């Protein structure tokens, strides 16, 4: 740091103490409203604090108290309403218990994961909730953090550790049901947009898709599974309409394009719908489409999007509650896993049974 100078100093407890003529402990008592202080002193102190524009130094306070009543949340794709909903629920649960929340973004790499973890640990947050996708570098660093006794809960991230709780929607079942729904409607050529067969092996939604096909003895055509390779992509996650759009165009250019598509999430589905429209095809008559998440926009697409609803709020709330338990318990807590049910929401984008 070549740049040394920082601004004018803030008033401290002892500045106030000096100005009033008491000990700083007395001022501390006034500020925190603890212990005995005479009404007279209290008023003098408050007056002085006000005049000096006193603001308590949280660093010193937290250093002394050994906890910060702050939790960090690491999000991948903040513009996905899923993340937002999650963050909102986490925040509410924490706020109700007197904790505050700092959000860090980690968009697409282990490096960013690590930066996020590091800055949170650095600020001595009392615990961390992580909702980014798993990756080797991040996992390794994370393991170190957990082993130094920082309470951690992961949401939807494939991270195995005896001291880390896990909350996730049932992506596998959700993916299965979405695909099953398309099969029930008579579709046989069903595409998947949002991952590759090689790269997306950890993607439960894709696995659900594959297992539904398998169950109905539909052969898996790897050309029907398309998506950008995440690990390579430098493009922020939110632009998944792009991915959906591109992916759909790839599918449409096949000699034998699918009659239905399961998109990895609603944004991807919206992008795909746009590509279908552009190609002059109709939804659901020519191509049926299912998304995932049930973001609030899903009901406003035209036609309204069939999708798998995941309980985002519940996920956030549960994760926050589990974390708080970890933070507040003095005993070791064994890993808990909560896989939450999803619900298929059928709207017009999948239409009715094909003849």
Partner DNA sequence: TGCTAAAAAGTTAACGTTAACATAATTTAA
Partner DNA sequence: TTAAATTATGTTAACGTTAACTTTTTAGCA
Binding stretches for DNA (CB under 7 A): 9-10, 12-14, 17, 21-26, 28-29, 31-32, 34-42, 54, 56-57, 60-61, 63-66
Restricting to residues 5-34, name those near a copy of itself by CB under 8 A: 5-8, 10-11
Nearer to DNA, 148 or 355 (CB): 148
Verify binding: residue 67, a copy of itself, rule CB under 8 A. yes
Residue 39: which of a copy of itself, DNA, none does it interact with, CB under 5 to 8 A by kind? DNA
Among 39, 40, 98, 256, binds a copy of itself (CB under 8 A): 98
| Distance of alpha carbon 312 from alpha carbon 85, whole angstroms | 6
Identify the residue among 220, 327, 340, 345 touching a copy of itself (CB under 8 A): 327
Distant-in-sequence, close-in-space partners of 204: CB < 8 Å, separation ≥ 6: 171, 172, 175
Of 328, 289, 277, residue with least CA distance to 191: 289
Query: Is 100 among the residues that bind a copy of itself (CB under 8 A)?
Result: yes
Which of 37, 46, 103, 281 binds a copy of itself (CB under 8 A)? It is 103
Encoded one letter per residue, x for contact with a copy of itself by CB under 8 A and - for no contact, window 124-163 reads x-x-----------------xx-xxx-x------------
Pairing of strands 190-193, 152-155: unpaired
Strands (E), the chain: 70-75, 100-105, 127-131, 152-155, 164-169, 190-193, 225-226, 260-263, 288-293, 306-309, 337-340, 343-345
Q: Give which of a copy of itself, DNA, none residue 242 binds (C-beta under 5 to 8 Å, depending on kind).
A: a copy of itself
| Residue 49: partners with Cβ closer than 8 Å, 6 or more residues away | 11, 16, 27, 30, 31
Q: CB 34 → DNA: shortest distance, Å? A: 6
**233 interacts with a copy of itself by CB under 8 A:** no
CA distances from 42 to 15, 22, 80 (A): 15, 11, 49
Helix or strand or coil: residue 125?
coil
* 334 interacts with a copy of itself by CB under 8 A: no
Q: Residue 238: name its binding partner from a copy of itself, DNA, none (Cβ under 5 to 8 Å by kind).
A: a copy of itself
Helix (H) or strand (E) holding 178: helix 171-184
Site for a copy of itself in 262-321 (CB under 8 A): 267, 270-271, 273-274, 277, 296-297, 300-302
6 binds, among DNA, a copy of itself, none (CB under 5 to 8 A by kind): a copy of itself
| Shortest separation between residue 333's beta carbon and a copy of itself, angstroms | 11
Contact assessment for residue 319 and residue 344, using Cβ atoms and an 8 Å cutoff: no
Give the pair of three-digit tokens for residue 149: 């006794």
**Beta-bridge partner residues of 164:** 152
47 binds a copy of itself (CB under 8 A): no
Q: Is 218 in the site for a copy of itself (CB under 8 A)?
A: no
Residue (of 264, 115, 278) closest to 196 by Cα position: 264
Binding-site partner at residue 79 among a copy of itself, DNA, none, CB < 5 to 8 Å by type: a copy of itself
223 binds a copy of itself (CB under 8 A): no
Question: In a 10 Å sphere around its CB, with 0-12 CB exposed, 13-18 middle and 19+ buried, how is residue 125 labelled?
Answer: buried
């Amino acid at each position: 740091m070549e740049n040394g100078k920082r601004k004018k100093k803030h008033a401290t407890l002892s500045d106030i103490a000096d100005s009033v003529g008491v000990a700083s402990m007395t001022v501390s008592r006034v500020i925190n409203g603890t212990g005995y202080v005479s009404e007279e002193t209290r008023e003098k102190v408050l007056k002085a604090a006000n005049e000096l524009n006193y603001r308590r130094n949280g660093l010193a306070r937290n250093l002394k108290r050994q906890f910060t009543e702050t939790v960090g949340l690491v999000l991948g794709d903040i513009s996905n309403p899923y993340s937002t909903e999650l963050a909102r629920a986490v925040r509410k649960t924490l706020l109700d218990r007197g904790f505050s929340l700092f959000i860090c973004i980690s968009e697409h790499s282990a490096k960013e994961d690590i930066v996020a973890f590091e800055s949170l640990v650095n600020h001595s947050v009392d615990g961390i909730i992580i909702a980014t996708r798993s990756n080797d570098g991040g996992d390794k660093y994370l393991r170190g953090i957990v082993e130094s006794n920082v309470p951690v809960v992961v949401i939807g991230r494939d991270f195995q550790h005896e001291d880390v709780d896990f909350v996730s929607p049932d992506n596998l079942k959700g993916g299965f049901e979405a695909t099953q729904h398309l099969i029930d409607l008579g579709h046989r050529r069903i595409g998947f947009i949002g991952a590759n067969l090689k790269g997306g092996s950890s993607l439960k939604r894709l696995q659900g898709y594959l297992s539904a096909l398998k169950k109905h003895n539909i052969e898996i055509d790897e050309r029907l599974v398309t998506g950008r390779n995440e690990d390579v992509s430098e493009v922020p996650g939110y632009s998944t309409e792009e991915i959906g759009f591109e992916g759909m165009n790839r599918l449409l250019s096949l000699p034998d394009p699918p009659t239905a598509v399961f998109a990895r999430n609603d944004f991807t589905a919206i992008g795909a719908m746009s590509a279908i429209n552009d190609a002059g095809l109709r939804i659901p008559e020519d191509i049926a489409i299912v998304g995932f998440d049930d973001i609030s926009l899903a009901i406003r697409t035209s036609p309204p999007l069939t999708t798998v609803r995941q309980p985002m709020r519940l996920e956030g709330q549960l994760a926050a509650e589990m974390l708080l338990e970890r933070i507040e318990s003095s005993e070791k807590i064994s890993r808990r896993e909560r896989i939450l049910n999803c619900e298929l929401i059928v709207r017009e984008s999948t239409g009715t049974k094909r003849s």
